Every structure is written in structure tokens, then in C-alpha cells.
Amino acid sequence: MINVTLPDGSIKQYDESITGYDIAMSISPRLAKEVLSISVNDEVWDLSRVISSDSSIKLHKWDDEEGKNAFWHSSAHIMAEAIEAIYPGTKFGIGPTIDNGFYYDVDLPEGKVITEKDLVRLEQKMLELARQKNDIVRSEISKADAIQLFQDKNDEYKLELINDLEDGTITLYNQGDFTDLCRGPHLPNTGAVKAIKLLSVAGAYWRGDEKNKMLTRIYGVTFPKAKLLQEYLVLLEEAKKRDHRKIGKEMVLFTFSQDVGLGLPLWMPKGAQLREQLELFLKKVQKNFGYEQVITPHIGNVQLYKTSGHYEKYGKDSFQVIKTPQEGEEYLLKPMNCPHHCEIYKARPRSYKDLPIRYAEFGTVYRYEQSGELHGLTRVRGFTQDDAHLFCTPDQLKEEFKKVIDIIFIIFKALDFKDFTAQISLRDPKNTEKYIGSDENWDKAEAAIIEASAEKGLKTVTELGEAAFYGPKLDFMIKDAVGRNWQLGTIQVDYNLPERFDLEYTGADNQKHRPVMIHRAPFGSMERFVAVLIEHTAGKFPLWLTPEQVVILSISEKFNDYAQKVSNILNISDIRTVVDDRNEKIGRKIRDNELKRIPYLLIVGEQEVESNSVSVRQQGQGDKGTMTIDEFARFIKKEVESQLEAIHINQKSN
RNA sequence: GCUGAUGUAGCUCAGGGGUAGAGCACUUCCUUGGUAAGGAAGAGGUCAUGGGUUCAAAUCCCAUCAUCAGCUCCA
């Protein structure tokens, strides 16, 4: 008998030939029906694998990452089996799971191609295979036998993979007529896969290296219930409707021009208005937190970037040097603001009493991105960072870090990002050479980030080896209204630049000390943030932010003067209005303006003129009754204020 | 940058070796209205750009540019 510890701490005794599936069955048949994989001593296993010694276990269902992974991994194998059945002689690369499904890279026989049209046929074959409820069987195999097997199949990709594996760790999985090299884990049989959607076909280089052959990558997603697939497809459709490039065009927020250049967004009046509101908002918050605005030029002498080390690291992959016609001076378009801010710090002697110093700038930077990387506003070549650099003593680091986290919380609250996590990126402890700075400083900085995050109650994941070469960082990931993850704000600790720029302050001991620097950009960039915001809100921005808050619709042209008067009165109270005085019926005006996503529609006609009032309609909510103009102005201002309540949190302490 | 697909009116798209199409938007006129599309007329395109094939090219071929998807990359 063996002892099996369940997640709640209880211990059950089983035979030594027990499997994960048997354990689930012993708890309840219903659980056994839903369970997909099992963690045995923190290692994820197949449910059908025999557990022969004392273990602590956790059963995984669809809702767990581990459960989904097994499900999709097995689905990738089913897809491979279907491909092999339809296109015999196909060679297989890798077929992993991804965030939302799985893919398989395949090398089709000479002359064969798979296009989007072929996917339906492939789906049907997969369903057929799934319904056969074939057992998925794990077997361990020696390296020599594995090589033999895939030599017989003439699959050079698998052979290459096996080559990198150690003898004794190689496993195969088989279902039906298909055998694959695979670490697992997998479902007990193919029957759990009930709904299948193959999403797209794309090219992908073997092992991501463009020198290698391009394989065909097929993306798919599967579900244990047909209903889940339907929901997923609706979500995909919704995501498509929210594409910021589409909405940006519809709402006339920004555009691109071939003549201006790739990846260089042009902000149109309404987009500029939106950006300005965001900037004003952040400036106010930052002022409360003791930041000072600075302004620096868009270019800097090459020497500046040689000092910072960026020239050496990125010089070749940047926009190239700008030369003066006469003196032959060399400048670079600034790819980041930090060196400029360091020079501001350096311009005067600093005392420990001055610290922390916090310089903020909406700094526009230019980075060369490969043409294929450019994407709407999320990936551009010229963008404006909501940048700031904090210079502090090592002892102040944690406190400053916490305050930056507070700012990010305020932003997320004002913009209704409820679901977010953070990633702590630390250095790889096994490979400390590629990082600069002393071990002592790294330890201190990493501890500061970890403690600050914990004290702020932040949900975090920690990634080793993901730190920048100059310091550890904290990145925020938000989940948008349709469940997609976006990386937004970032906070980074930097020991490199203070060193390279020889930044100093005089301590209480009258000695020179090196300050620590924090880079932080809560939005990341204005461009990217606006893009995320558009997709999160589907263009229905919160009232405080939206470029056009109120539209006034006249019933007929006779009331255009009154409409204009209402607009003027609201403008005095800083309410952003537009007037729709077109020669159209009211129904038409309502429809058009509802579609323009303006939060409030005011209808004015004879009755309103007589009582000096407006008839209020809220976007998407219909008629809200009548108010006087003053009442409406107060109502709007109150709503804006309540949305911006968090702005007033005053953290100034210096 | 690489692979593939796409490029027709401001927008969304149809068509396709022989005078360039629709809906919406736009302009003008009629209508002056009460909570999601009133009516009529009009204007608008070197069919991405450059070459080639052809009696004839928006259509076929080649190249270039851009867009989209994926790969790689992101201080």
C-alpha cells in the first residue's frame, strides 16, 4: 500500500498499481469524468500512469492550466494523426500547447500544401479519430530505439530533437495508428475531445531559425464541450470587432501615411484629445507623488549613447547617425529618455537630502523595428513613453517602488482594468555573467521588488533570467474585457546608468555615494496604451477620458441656435461637446451618434427651449428624462469626479 | 528581415483581356420632424507603383511598395 496526500492534506491509502484516474474514480465518478491530468509530487503526469510510491497529488480539470495543457497537447497529437492519415509521408516538427490552444509544425510531402480551405476536412478527420476514444499510451524507450524508429519514419526533425535528449528520459505516446516523440502528459484517451476548431495555417521556420526550412504551422483549439467552443468563437469575433486599427479608423483617432513612413502614427484631432486627457491625468497623479516634469530634445550626441552603453548594444539596429553639415557632429534620434535625464541629474551637485528625485517626461523616442513587426499602434517606430526616472538611495528603493505600484493601481482603477497580475523578472542565478553590477546590489534590488510587491498585495509570477542586463524589473499584465492578456506598465531597477554616468550624491557621512535609478512607465507608451484601451473598451471610453462627452441634437433646424447655446454653456464647465445640426430627422441623428460612441446625447426642441432644459439620452441606455442645462452640467461633472476619485490620493512625501 | 495572402471611390466590398460597379459617407435640393436609417438629384477612381505580353491590360506575367497573418525581434 502507498500513502497518497491530497491537496487538502488528507491522506488516502491505495494499492501500488493505482493510477491518477483510479484515485479520481475513488473520490467520485463525476470527478473521474472531468479530470484531465494529475500532478504527482509537483510533476504533471498522465492519469493513466501508475503511481507506485508515496506521493502528494493534485487532480487537474479543465479550469486548471495543467488540465488544459494535457487536453490541448493530446489534441495536437490527434491533429497530427489526422494529418498523417490525409497526407501520408508528412514529417512532424513540434506540436506544443499555447495560451489558447495548440499548433503543430509539419513538413508536408513534396507538392502538397494545406490551405485554410483544407482545415474543415482536417477537423472532420480529427473528430472521427477523437470519437474512436483511442487510448493514449505512454512508453519509455531507449535513445537507440527512438533513433531507429524515427529513421524508419524518415523524420529528420524528430531525430534532431532526440539527439538533444538524454538516454533514459525519452518517452513515446501512441494513440490509434499514430506514435509521437513526446514528454507528455496526455489524456487517457482521445474521447474527451468533443469540439474542434482549426484556426489558421501559417509558415514557421524549423526551430524559429530563418536559415532552416519553413514548415507549415497549423493552429487549433479544442474543447470538452461544444458549448465552450461556441463561446470561444463568439469571443474571437468580439476581439475582431474591437481591433484598435478598425476602431481607430471608425472614430477618426489616428492614421498612417506611406509618405510619412512606416510605423509613424499620425494623431488626428480626436485621438490627440484622448492622449491629452491621459497625459493630464497622469501628470496630476504624478504631481501628487512628488514628480517633476522635465523636457529634453529628440536627439542626442552619439557620445551620450556611447556613455550609456546603448550605442554598443543597439547602435547597429537603430535609426542611423544624423550628421551636421559643417562640423561633422554625430547625433542619434533618441531611443530612450534615460541618458538625457541622467544629464539633468548630473547638472548640479546632489545631497542625500535632495533624494529621491523624480523626473517625468512624456518623451518621444524612435526605435527601428523590422518592417514585419509593425502593428497598428502596438508596435511602432516612433512613440511617446510616459517615462520617469527616479534617483534614490539604496535604502529608499523599496519605498519608491511601492509608490510606483500605487500609481499603477490608480491608473488601472481609473481605466477599469480590474484583472491584472505582475511578473517579477530576476536574473538567472546560474548565469550571472551577462548581468552588470555587484551581487550585493542585485540581491538588494531583487529583494526590494519582491518585498514591495508582496506588501502591496500584488499577484505575481517570478521569472528567472528575464531581468534586463542592468537590473531586475516588474511588468504588469492586464486582462482585457474579452480575456486577452496585454503587457503594460513596467518598473525597472538600474545600477548600470548611475555607474556609467558617474552619478553621485553626498551622504550624511559627507562621502560621495552612487544613487540607484528606477525607470518606470505605467502606460508603457501612449500609443500602445491607447491601443489596449480601445480594445478593452471597444472604443467606449470612460466619460472623463472620451474626446467627445456630449452631443447635442436639434429636433429641427429651428432649434440649432438653442443647441449651440447649450453647447457653449457646457463648454464653460469644461464639458466637451459637439452639436449635430444636420438637416436630418431626430431618429437619424440618434442612430448616427449612438454609433459614434458618444456617452451622452442631448435632444433639444420646442419643449426644451421653453423650459431651458435638455432631454438626456445615455449611449446604449435610451431616454433618461429631462434636466435643466445646469442640472445636466452638475450631473456630468459629478460623474467625471467620481471616476477620477483615485487621482486625489496624495502620496507626496519628500 | 523571412514565408504566404491581399491591394478597385473617403469607408466596407463586388467584378474582371474590349466605356469602372454597389451600399454607406460626401454635395445640392425637397422636407422641419420628438428618441436607432425621410425623399430626390449630383459629384467622386491612372483599379497600389513601374515594367512586360497583347490589336487591346484594372484583369495575364515580372519587379517594387504597402497592408494583413505567421516566424524572428523588442533598450
pLDDT score for A652: 47
Question: How much is the mean pLDDT over chain A?
Answer: 90
Q: A518 φ, ψ to 5°?
A: -120, 125
Whether A352 shows a pLDDT value over 70: the answer reads yes
In this structure, CATH architecture of domain A254-298+334-537: 2-Layer Sandwich (3.30)
Distance, angstroms, CA A228 to C1' B73?
35
Name A residues 173-202 whose Cβ lies under 7 Å from strand B. 200, 202
Q: Does nucleic acid strand B have an atom less than 7 angstroms from the CB of A535?
A: no
Q: A645 φ, ψ to 5°?
A: -50, -40
Distance, angstroms, CA A136 to C1' B55?
68
Backbone torsion region of residue A464, taken as left when φ is above 0, otherwise alpha when ψ lies between -120 and 50, otherwise beta: beta
**pLDDT tens column, A241-253:** 899 999 999 999 9
**pLDDT tens column, A502-549:** 999 999 999 999 999 999 999 999 999 999 999 999 999 999 999 999
- Under DSSP, the state recorded for A191 is G
CA-to-CA separations, A310 to A259, A316, A369, in angstroms, rounded: 29, 10, 16
Residues A522, A524, A527, A528, Cα dihedral to 10°: -110
CB neighbours of A5 closer than 8 A, spacing ≥ 6? A11, A54, A55, A56, A57
Is A381 within 8 Å of A366 (Cβ atoms)? yes
Whether A653 shows a pLDDT value over 50: the answer reads no
Distance, angstroms, CA A104 to C1' B5?
21
* Cell numbers 542626442: residue: A300
3-state secondary structure A93-162: CCCCEECCEEEEEEECCCCCCCCHHHHHHHHHHHHHHHHCCCECEEEECCHHHHHHHHHHCCCHHHHHHH
Q: What integer is the mean pLDDT of A266-294?
A: 95
Whether A360 shows a pLDDT value over 70: the answer reads yes
Among the ranges given (A465-469, A471-475, A563-567, A586-590), the one the predictor scored with the smallest mean pLDDT: A465-469
pLDDT score for A628: 96
**pLDDT tens column, A29-56:** 888 888 899 988 888 898 888 888 888 8
Name A residues 538-557 whose Cβ lies under 7 Å from strand B. 555-557
Q: Does nucleic acid strand B have an atom less than 7 angstroms from the CB of A605?
A: yes
Grid cell of A50 as nine digits = 501508475
Question: Nucleotides on strand B with an atom closer than 7 A to protein CB?
Answer: 1-4, 11-12, 26, 29-38, 65-75
Q: Which residues are paired to A19 by β-bridges?
A: A50
Whether A101 shows a pLDDT value over 50: the answer reads yes
The closest nt to A204, taking CA to C1', is: B71
pLDDT score for A43: 85
**pLDDT tens column, A133-184:** 998 888 888 888 888 888 888 888 888 888 888 887 788 999 888 888 888 7
**What amino acid positions of A are annotated as catalytic residues?**
338, 367, 385, 387, 389, 473, 519
- For the beta sheet containing A382-392, the strands, ordered from the edge strand earlier in sequence to the opposite edge, are A292-293, A357-366, A382-392, A516-521, A485-494, A473-479, A419-426, A460-464
Q: A536, A543, A538, A404: which is closest to A478 by C-alpha?
A: A536
**pLDDT tens column, A299-312:** 999 999 999 988 98
What sign for the dihedral angle of Cα A190, A192, A198, A203? negative
Q: A380, A382, A379, A341: which is closest to A365 by C-alpha?
A: A382
Q: Do domains A2-61 and A66-239 have the same CATH topology?
A: no
Q: What integer is the mean pLDDT of A371-384?
A: 92
Grid cell of A346 as nine digits = 548630473
pLDDT score for A464: 87
Q: Does nucleic acid strand B have an atom less than 7 angstroms from the CB of A374?
A: yes
Distance CA A594, CA A625 (A): 17
pLDDT score for A649: 63
Q: Which residues are paired to A552 by β-bridges?
A: A579, A602
**pLDDT tens column, A191-242:** 889 999 988 888 888 887 777 888 888 999 999 999 999 888 888 888 888 9
Give percent of chain A with pLDDT exceeding 90: 56
Provide the CATH number for the domain formed by A550-643 in this structure: 3.40.50.800
Distance, angstroms, CA A246 to C1' B68?
13
Name the CATH topology of A66-239.
Threonyl-tRNA Synthetase; Chain A, domain 2 (3.30.980)
Q: Does nucleic acid strand B have an atom less than 7 angstroms from the CB of A512?
A: no
Q: A67, A36, A43, A69: which is closest to A57 by C-alpha?
A: A43
Q: Does nucleic acid strand B have an atom less than 7 angstroms from the CB of A623?
A: yes
Domain boundaries, chain A: 2-61, 66-239, 254-298+334-537, 550-643
CATH number (3.30.70.270, 3.30.70.260, 3.10.20.30, 3.40.190.10) of A2-61 reads: 3.10.20.30
